[in-house]
Structure 1
Amino acid sequence: MLAPERRTRADIIFAVAIAVVVSMTALVVWARGDATGTESVTASTPVTAPPTAEGVPASLRELWHAEDGASKRALVSAGVVVTAQDGTVSGRDPRTGEQVWHYRRDMPLCGVESQFSMVLAVYRDERGCSQTTLLAGDSGARRTARSSYMDATVRLSVDGTYALAQGPRRLEMWRSDLVRTIEYGFVDAQVNAKTQPRKGCDLLSSASNPSRLAVLERCPDDPADRLTVLNPVPKDNTVPEEYGSHVLSGGGADSRDARVLAVSDTRILVYLPEASAQGGSETVPARLAVYDANGNPLVNHRLLAPLTATAEVTKLGSTYFLFTGETLLALNGSTFDPLWNLGEVLGTPAMMAGSLLVPVTGGIAAIDPATGTASANIPVDRAGHDGSPLALAVIGGVVLEKRGSTIHALG
């Protein structure tokens, strides 16, 4: 019969050592984990959206203002105004500016967007702008999150169905639940590297709609920029499906200032800058180039002046509005044909009670969106404004005006 096993002093010391190592490992994991550097304060009760304004106000005064340096445009979601500064995203009461909820991480924000009454917040860690969180606009509650390799900077945009995050070497599109539908460009997983149609390309710009993703890129073996049109939802998110890919030709086709501006169901709008004609004796003016849904050229619209670096396109209803840097150009939502233009404009517009609100010197103009005719001019005091482009948004009866890194609520 075997003698019963007995604990020795060495056994006890060894067991204690294992327990210490496990405890220290757990402590390190906790200290370095995402949850440790995160603070989430949700609304006590979900916020309801205010009623739609019945008319354009005759006057406006500032109700409040707040720092908003991480977002490109004035954002609203559900019943709140969304502001983002440093690592904090906040939902604010439209009339008072008080925080209804906030979400904070000890990471820098790469960008913030809103869609479907949700707020998309992208943070930067050691893998680039890889940490993405989806928050409910009415409460700030965390709905889902994703993490993947991304560039150190990304440009966020939404198209009514998908969200697009594009960096200089790589882009991804996400569904409303943050599931990735496509990756394009540089791939960190070597097993997927051969699935990409080209390597080493710089992604200059991109835009999307639910049926098309257009990417303007510059590839090592190409003499000019390349326009590639992709399926936003291929069968395999790691294998892009191309509808067409063409190297551009003509003046401005080799410029890194060229941009994809907008994508409709049947057309793609690209900005081609002013350039010298072949031989250098003449200059080809800046133009808006329209391509079909497969990237084939259709028509060019000459611009009176080049777009500035701050030019932006806003889709409101069925019409696209291009802020050139000093002019607002209305474009047909299907063909991108110019409809009308308005000069001496300071930024991007918003819709309120059927009128197009446009920031102009000294105030906000109320414009007929069909004709471009002004019906009213609402004075706005912008004392201290540095001259940077303005971006408008509307929530209920409150007009939001983003000036640089500050959001101003007017009512």
Structure 2
Amino acid sequence: MVAAVLVLVLGGAALLYGAQSPAANTESVPATAPPAPPPPATAVPARLTELWRASSPATPVPLVAGAGVVVAEGSRVSGRDAATGAERWSYTRDLPLCTTGFADGRVLALYRNDQYCSELTTLGPDSGERGPTRTLDARPGTRLIGQDPVLATGVDYVETFRSDLVRTAEYGTVRAPEEPGDQPRAGCTFRSFASARDRAGVLERCPGEASERLSVIRPSGSEGDRPAFDSSAGIGTEGAQLVAVSPERAAVLLPGVPRLALYDRGGRKIGEFPVAAGAQLSVPADGVARTSADATTRYWWTGGATVALDGATLQPRWAVPGTVGPGTRHGERLLVPVPAGLAVVDPDTGAVSRTVPVDRGGWGGPVQVAAQGGLLVELRGTEVVVLGPA
């Protein structure tokens, strides 16, 4: 009788756990066939036409992944055929999405559980099949930026993890510190963020300090909640914005007359460069500068212009005024969003040869664009719009 009672109790516990487990409240519908590749990029077309659109408020950038496009809304992430918008796979949980990203060839889907954005799932970009998962301590409003490390941002806490999802560093208000005193400062507010290979930059404001502080974490040297730094020092001003970090430098936009201050790996200021920022400057609410990149150059949208930064030195090279986003490479040209469409830009000189008309139906806000083969994927606010040759 005792054995029978134990069997019933254990069986009931297993059923209860199964009913409450994440798997029981998840709907995963993988793709049933390989994806059709998007058309290849050839010459920049004379005109573009809209192929399809979808609501996607949980993708902070156009999420081109594998051969398709990923959209995310509510509790659902789905992979779409790039040319038609037909849904190929989907993944849904009974939790709200915080944000999505892409790293190491996998889609990142981060869900909110209670007060934290804690449930991270990886998905195959072409199949939608679930990969490794892990738990984060990120706060609502977080962004997942960078590749190695991936940096999860936050107003008072950040963490980094490797491509295999192993956490490498925590910095800020740690929920469950391993040892008191592991964090070098307390009560700081994080204002802007950037990531590069084995570097995570944070511009912060700390109590009792005379100015904002630029801290660059080195994840490979960190141990859990004991972060290691390449550098951490005050920058002598207030109201700055961290624009980018490279393996050897950090670029900070200074307040007042637009200037880009460059700092070396040891945190020493090595120069200031004027920036043709255009008619207005934008301060991203999530603290992440709007940038894109190719093999040699980073393209930064200031809010009124697109500025090319050397990929290694971060020194400004040229600027195109009157733009509404950073741009994307299309073959040998750079396509930069402007109010009338997409400006065709020489990536070496910044010279604009022409503008490809795009009818955005009255949308007048910022536009982020990414290329998927010969197609262009625009993110206009919370909506993804895919364009192809007319």
TM over 0.5: yes
Aligned with 1:26: secondary structure? helix
Cα shift at 1:231: 0.9
Aligned residues, how many? Answer: 382
Aligned with 1:29: secondary structure? helix
The alignment's C-alpha RMSD in Å is 2.0
Q: Find out whether 1:229 has 2:216 as its counterpart.
A: yes
What amino acid does structure 2 have at the position aligned with 1:338? P
Q: Provide the residue aligned with 2:238 in structure 1.
A: 254
**Contact (CA 8 Å) 1:186, 1:200: kept in 2 or not?**
yes
Moved more, 286-295 or 307-316: 307-316
Q: Provide the residue aligned with 1:214 in structure 2.
A: 201
What amino acid does structure 2 have at the position aligned with 1:371? T
What amino acid does structure 1 have at the position aligned with 2:249? R
Q: Provide the residue aligned with 1:393 in structure 2.
A: 370
Matches of residues 88-167 of structure 1 in structure 2 within 5 Å? 88-159=76-147, 161-167=148-154
**Contact (CA 8 Å) 1:207, 1:213: kept in 2 or not?**
yes
Q: Provide the residue aligned with 2:268 in structure 1.
A: 296
Cα shift at 1:237: 3.2
**Contact (CA 8 Å) 2:38, 2:375: kept in 1 or not?**
no
Matches of residues 329-340 of structure 1 in structure 2 within 5 Å? 329-340=307-318
Higher relative contact order (CA 8 A, sep 6+): 2
**TM-score, normalization: structure 1?**
0.87
Q: Provide the residue aligned with 1:278 in structure 2.
A: none
Cα shift at 1:20: 6.0
Q: Aligned partners of 2:11 and 2:266: how far apart in 1? A: 58
Q: Aligned partners of 2:276 and 2:48: how far apart in 1? A: 33
* Alignment counterpart, residue 199 of structure 1, candidates 183, 186, 190: 186
Q: Provide the residue aligned with 1:349 in structure 2.
A: 327
Cα shift at 1:112: 0.8
Aligned with 1:347: secondary structure? coil
Cα shift at 1:48: 5.8
Moved more, 305-314 or 72-81: 305-314
Gaps of 5+ in 1: 1-10, 275-284
Q: Aligned partners of 2:199 and 2:241: how far apart in 1? A: 16
Q: Give the number of the structure whose alpha-carbon radius of gyration is greater.
A: 1
Q: Give CA-to-partner distance per residue, 1:189-234, whole Å, 9 cap, x none.
A: 2333422222222222221211322211122221211111221212
* Alignment counterpart, residue 32 of structure 1, candidates 20, 23, 38: 20
Q: Give CA-to-partner distance per residue, 1:105-135, whole Å, 9 cap, x none.
A: 1111111111333111111112501111111
**Contact (CA 8 Å) 2:36, 2:81: kept in 1 or not?**
no
4+ residue runs of structure 1 moved beyond 6 angstroms?
A: none
Q: Provide the residue aligned with 1:73 in structure 2.
A: 61
Matches of residues 167-178 of structure 1 in structure 2 within 5 Å? 167-178=154-165
Q: Find out whether 1:364 has 2:336 as its counterpart.
A: no
What amino acid does structure 1 have at the position aligned with 2:345? I
Q: Aligned partners of 1:187 and 1:364: how far apart in 2? A: 44
Structure 1 vs Structure 2: percent identity of aligned residues? 40
Matches of residues 296-335 of structure 1 in structure 2 within 5 Å? 296-303=268-275, 307-310=281-284, 312-335=290-313
**Contact (CA 8 Å) 1:187, 1:193: kept in 2 or not?**
no
Q: Aligned partners of 2:149 and 2:328: how far apart in 1? A: 21
Q: Aligned partners of 2:70 and 2:57: how far apart in 1? A: 11
**TM-score, normalization: structure 2?**
0.92
Q: Aligned partners of 2:28 and 2:300: how far apart in 1? A: 37
